[in-house]
Amino acid sequence: MRALPTHLLASLILLASGCSGDSADEASDSGFTSKLSQRHSPIIVDHKFGAIPHGQSVEADLLIPMPEDLGPMIPLGFQRNCSCARHQFVIVAEDGRERIANERPEPRFAVREGEKLYLRLSLHTAELEAQDLEPSIVRGEVILQEEAQLARRVWVTVKFEYAVESPVLVKPSAHLDLGEIARSASYRQMFELRGRAGKTTFGQPRCLEPDPMHPDEWRISSDLKATIEHHEDHSILYVSFQPSPERPEGPMRMSIDIETDLPDDYLFRLPVSGNVISDIQLSPPGKFFFGTIDFTKPAKQFMVITDHRPNRQTEFVEHGIVDASGRDISEHFKLRIEGVPDRSNSQQLSLEYDGKLELARSRFSGTVYLARRDQPGEAIPVEILGFHKAR
């Protein structure tokens, strides 16, 4: 077994007096992570993966040195600053047999004389967006604990470096975020795809999305569409989206998969995300939220209301202001509705509170009712919410 030099060991050992054999995280509530963050130890293990072609997975076994004057050590974990790599602890016996340590402080996972401990790191770049990634340094610490009853701990710092090189260059970005899409709205975007190494053939795009109930199962999306147009040295991907009536409002995640003639059957994947919202949008969303204020003092909140239906000139009017019990509180709240420059489908709502409500509890809630001038019978409720805290 390779041993740590004594002078390094001195800086690595933390005498965890009183730790029992399975006290892997003593005093966690006082901050195990902060303990880690307050300690510095020299870099012991360093590895360079180099530039990984996007789509490929790579793996490396890093030999973790054992302190020479402590008993058998058990790997308890690998804490790192990035979740880009998965890890496993592999103990290799003299005869080459391997066993996977499950990061539990159990004797069967102690590294015995003649055995070696490896940190097996694997990086799966297909899970990342298809774009170049500059060399990134990841730091972490392997936590080892002595098997003995009064276990001592050793932290071994591990550093590894990797970069990602995408075989497809995509513009303008390797992720399409639709942002907020109103139910009546539609979205179009064009992407340029180009093979890094030269002419690349792209297949027909497939628009997919996960089943919300079975997120690992992807199905053809009914409202995300994509077509591709081939040119001499690049291709243009046209993407459009319009929410179908069946699609619920809320976040969505999709992808556009395109086969290529690149090595290893490289599949180009463009992740797509967005949020379908109602045609009547309130911003900030949902409510007039006053936060925690002193309700004995005046306060003011703003909101913008937008009607996303096409070709509409929005004009909202006040329809009433009530508290949670339905009591008219319009004498305490004044609503001003004004136009927003250059946005004919939006209006700004200013709600001014006079500071004179008598609250029975620390939470206040009420509702402003709005209506469109052209549809006065249809009330649009906007919640008022705030919490009283005397200052």
Site for other proteins in 287-346 (CB under 8 A): 289, 291-292, 319-322, 324, 326, 328, 330
Question: Out of 44, 74, 111, 252, which residue is the one contacting other proteins (CB under 8 A)?
Answer: 252
Of 96 and 251, which CB lies nearer to other proteins in the complex structure? Answer: 251
Question: Out of 22, 59, 233, 264, which residue is the one contacting other proteins (CB under 8 A)?
Answer: 22
Cα–Cα distance, 219 to 239 (Å, whole number):
17
The nearest distance, CB 158 to other proteins, in angstroms, is: 12
Q: Does 36 bind other proteins (CB under 8 A)?
A: yes
Q: Does 197 bind other proteins (CB under 8 A)?
A: no
Residue with tokens 């628009």, as numbered in its chain: 207
The nearest distance, CB 332 to other proteins, in angstroms, is: 12
Of 91 and 277, which CB lies nearer to other proteins in the complex structure? Answer: 277
Q: Does 210 bind other proteins (CB under 8 A)?
A: yes
Q: Does 145 bind other proteins (CB under 8 A)?
A: no
Touching other proteins, residues 357-376 (CB under 8 A)? 362-363, 365, 367, 369
Q: Does 40 bind other proteins (CB under 8 A)?
A: yes
Question: Out of 73, 75, 80, 91, which residue is the one contacting other proteins (CB under 8 A)?
Answer: 80
CA within 13 Å, CB half, 256: 28
Cα–Cα distance, 249 to 309 (Å, whole number):
15
Cα–Cα distance, 195 to 218 (Å, whole number):
26
Touching other proteins, residues 259-288 (CB under 8 A)? 271, 273, 275, 277, 283-286
Give 173's contacts (C-beta < 8 A, 6+ positions apart): 131
Contact 354, 299 (CB under 8 A): no
Of 198 and 377, which CB lies nearer to other proteins in the complex structure? Answer: 377
Cα–Cα distance, 340 to 127 (Å, whole number):
42
Q: Does 253 bind other proteins (CB under 8 A)?
A: yes
Question: Out of 2, 6, 20, 150, which residue is the one contacting other proteins (CB under 8 A)?
Answer: 20
CA within 13 Å, CB half, 84: 25
Q: Does 387 bind other proteins (CB under 8 A)?
A: yes
Tokens of 125: 């770049």
Cα–Cα distance, 241 to 231 (Å, whole number):
24
Bridge partner residues of 334 (DSSP):
352
Largest distance between two CA atoms of the chain:
85
Contact 149, 20 (CB under 8 A): yes
Candidates 51-59, 167-175, 220-228, 259-267 — which segment interacts with other proteins by CB under 8 A? 167-175
Q: Does 107 bind other proteins (CB under 8 A)?
A: no
Give 171's contacts (C-beta < 8 A, 6+ positions apart): 191, 192
Candidates 84-92, 195-203, 228-236, 260-268 — which segment interacts with other proteins by CB under 8 A? 84-92
